[in-house]
Structure 1
Amino acid sequence: MAKTKKNMREKRYTEEGVQKCLSEIRSGISIRSACIRFGIPRSTIKFRMSKNYKQQIRSGPPTALRSEQETELVNWILKMARKGFPVTKYRLINSVMNYLEHNPNMNVFKNGKPSSAWFNSFMSRHKVLSIRKPESVTKASANVTELDIRNWFKEVLTVLEEEGLSEVLMSAGSVLNGDESSFYLDPSIDKVISRRGEKNYIVDQGPTKKNITVMFTCAADGKMFPPMVVLPYKKIPTDITRSVPADWGLAKTDSGWMTRSCFLKYIKFILQPQLAKENALPAIYFIDDHSSHTAWETAEECRKMGIHLVYLYANCTRILQPLDVAVFKPMKGSWLKVVDDWKCLNPNKYLKTENFAPLLAKAIKSVESKIIQNGFKACGLYPFNENNIDYSKCLANSLPVGENFENKGTDTRQITSLTFPIVRSKAVEILTLIGPDRISLYKRNNPDDFPSDEDKILARVYKLLEPLDSSSNMNIPGSNTTKMHIEPNMHIAEFVNMDNVESVTEVEYLDKQESYESGMLDFYQSTSEDPLKECVSDLNTG
């Protein structure tokens, strides 16, 4: 006869109930009475009160990582998500694996890598986390809007204030930007002087495709820190090592590209000692979301060294990164001149790797500190001001609302204004139907903060009608319609907080383009049948 699995009695009490039961017992109630009241076995309570019990909040065996380590991991995941770089399962597992590689005494996983079972248990222990499908921002360099960037500035400032680092933004020497760039050993020449009408050829004086990766960091006060050269070697030849300036970094990888370990070595041995020497710690380090920068261990190690990583909004380095905006172009131009001068002095020779660092040092010297300072200002990083940015670079701002870059067709005209004709009597009727409780809730929160589609829609409707709400202290006598004018590229959620509502005697359209909010009203009209729907329908058409 096959063995049957013994039925296990289901646990019907919680840790909170156990703690309340113990509290009642300490106050003088008998164990039997307290156990009956809270539905907890007496054996459990007696064990909890014995010397044999060791404090353990959760049931089951101990976790691979300590509780405080998992808490740090959760905080890192949430911060990365808030900064626009959500963590995938693969990145989480690899980040933990990299962390354990540097702490071998803690390694409890087979082959040193957390399993899918560990990941599932980790997610079940931390209910604040969930698996979500992120909104893609690929091709977003063309689709990033002014509102996206302004929201990024607000989010960064909020995070820094929570961590007590907002004052660091006031110190120019402590606001940094870092990025990698490649330099060709035989850069191409655009134009030459020749006889009119004749074709010209140039003889390659070396491997035309060979390039070298260099990590740069600069500060808002105009200082350029020593760079690090990354070479594709197993062992770097002595003549190359001797050619690199003593205060520079020199690293090797299989591909010659930046890796996580190279980036950490640069921070630890080049950047951090320089910042400590100049008393510029703690520092805010703005970088892009390259995989070598975003690992959990990378952020934690940098934080311990007093360098706090802040990731630039995805696909916006041409707008937000000072090195891209102001520094690399003149540096690359200077590199071309330096290489050309070297070729003039060394005809029939080609530039080798051992010649690279001395020539790059000359090119770096040509970048004036004023150029770096202007770059930080143009990117809004120092002073930390979102209004310093040239938002004309946001290509999405030149498209009609709701239309993306891919399907823009041939119509490239820019939005000049948006107008919402609102009949006052219908607006008041809608506000009445929404009710004071919901209005109070919608005032304090953004529409996208609500979980249900209904609340999101009604919150947006209220944001449109907020100027007509009696609680907003805006009186519009003698008028039954209101004109709401929105400046170019201004989002409707920003508009409703401005004191720019004026009365008119008739509905006026400043532009005939439909808006996202108008489409939203159509959506609500088709999703419900109630008095509020009828008012919204009238508002949208009347």
Structure 2
Amino acid sequence: MAPTKKKSVNTTPKRFLYSPSKVKLALKAISDGMSTSRASQMYHVPRTTLRNKSSGKSPELSIGHSGTISVLGEEMETTLVQWILSCARMGFPVGREGLLSSVKKLVDEANIKTPFAHNRPGKKWFYGFLNRHKILSQKHSEYVNRARGSVTEAKIKNWFKEIHELLGEDANILEEPNRIFNMDETCFNLAPKGELIIGARGQNVYDEHTNSDKENVTTLFGTNALGKWAPCLTIFKYERIPAALVKAAPSGWGIGKSETGWMTGETFFEYITNIFLPFLIEANIQRPVIVFLDGHKSHLSLHLSKFCRENGLILISLYPNSTHILQPLDVAVFGPLKGRWKKIVKQWRIDNEKEITKSDVPQALSQIIDDAGMVNNIKSGFRVTGLYPFNADSVDYNKIIVRTIPIHETTSNIDDIKSHITFIENHINKFDVDLVTEFKRTYKGKYEWDGKVEASLLYTLWSEIFEDINKKENEIIQTDNTIAVISQVSTSPTLQHRNDTLNPEMWSNIPSTSQAEDTPPFSTETQPFSTETPLFSTEPPSMQTCPAKRSLATVFNDIIKWPEQQQSKSNRKKEYTPSVITSDKWIEFHDIKASEKLEKEKQKEERKIAMLDKRKQAEIKKIEKAEIKAKKMKPTVVVSDTDSTESKLSWNSKVDSSDDELLSQPINKDLLQKMSNLKRDLKSGDYVLVKFKPVGKKKICYKYVATVVKVISKTEVEVQYFEASDEENTEFVLVEGDVSVVELQDLVYKLPLPELCFKNRQYVSVFPGIVDVYEKFK
């Protein structure tokens, strides 16, 4: 059974209208001996009201509303409201739990007596707090990245100004809605998360789809300010578009393809040339036309800019990171469009008994955009973004996150008005001390003036000036979120009859609802109020203050953190790009960038050639030096003893002894032991010369110095390689991580143990002669 709406019953009791002056007279009469009933009849004040006020059950002065006062007090709640609004405007919204936790810390630190359990407010206080402050409400926050958060109102207004300057003679286009277009693409999920469904209580319900929940299709939309759609373009991830897909699309619908299924520069260029321009010609739309779009790289290319300049198309990029504010499709169209898309997908499944596929997307979207309601959404989108009518003041700047707390320009005006009202009150007090007090009570209770007839015009003048002060102060609170300092003692009558009222000292330096510097809304120094019924009393006799651990200002600074803009620590320089890009400007900008890029590539190529020449000269010098060494050294057989039958191979130089000291000699072959004779004696730590067989057509045998890590088997051994660190191949250093397993037959010699020394912050193995680490294959 559908729920029925109950008839609202007005249970509000009847209220009697009476002025504070009559209450004062009635209470005075009761104190003089008159009965409560008689005073009620004489002064037309409810008897219950007089009884409660005379007994002290309710305050003698009106607090502006019926019922009890709030636990935290009006001033503290006002400060909390300011804090919440400031956080929201600065991009740091406060949630329910954050508010309750902050209040608990505040109450704990300030040692305030409250009825809260464990000093933490509950649900009843929270909703009562929202009810007392209608400016607040619960809502879902919208995610905005830091780049979008950097957009300011001044930057957007300057962007509007730049458009007029850049358009020049073509600025009249902004007054013709059929020549103003907006384009943007968005994706549609083939298995969108649906709405609420009906199922068994306490059990999970699953909606099974054959489509992947991550599969989506990108579609480009374009429309003018009159709500006329340009042909849309749906992009698919295909190499070749299937014929069935083309046949399923509505007539005139654009079909595109790309490697990723997203918009690319080539795809957008072909859409403008093959679809959009013919549409303008067929629709007989006068050119040039303006196309507003975001600054995605696929929308701005050199070829596209040249084509647009030649065919009367002016591309204007929206201000960076502000599409959620300035783009009509984002602001007013895509939201309802995707909402309808979810319903279409569900209904498609019911009507066709199958899931919606990629080929069905164009047909389904055409049903949505052909709806008459979309035209109104489009027109509203252009209006609230300020694109048509072209007006920077039409933009909704409430979406901009405030990064600084500006000082309102009207602060000085408030001070001037307050000085005027103080001047008037001072002169009134010279003739009637109680008259200003009556003015304030009547204004606060929203009564009609029932005092002296001759003072009625004076009250009207005073109330209008006082109303101007309140408007200015509220304007500062709600628009600028200005945070000032109250140095005055709390003088609200709402605190005069509370047992848990805060120490007045604790209210110093609390953010105020106005920006006046140490100026109370009423002058208390120059007005000699009546001592019998004071309007404001800084230290009422009945007030009981609770001892505070420390001042409330300090507590607020520690517990309630006012939002501050986070300064970026990055020193990376960003290249300036124009915020408004037309075809001519974009071509000029692109040509400059292209010439700079070519110049850098040319310089890079010149440095590369110079480096190769230098390396070639070094190789030539190395070869020449090796040839000189080979000519200076000649192997001869020297007989050391006439009785000896053995001959030794030695190296005799043709140069003098001084040159012999400078040139290294090959290792004596007697020190080289062939591996065929030492297979069994090979152990870890031995130095060997390893050869590699020729690879490919090159008949080259490479030889490397290595040390034995371990003997794996009778035919294999694991070795660690070294590389030469000098030109003569006598000193070798370890190559980290260069380990491999070789066969024993690839080991040429077992080298003598080198001398280990420390050079250039590393250990070097120095052999007693030149090691033949490379030779031609024979």
Q: Compute the TM-score of the two structures, normalised by the length of structure 2.
A: 0.34
More strand by share: 2
Q: Compute the TM-score of the two structures, normalised by the length of structure 1.
A: 0.49
More helix by share: 1
Structure showing greater Rg? 2
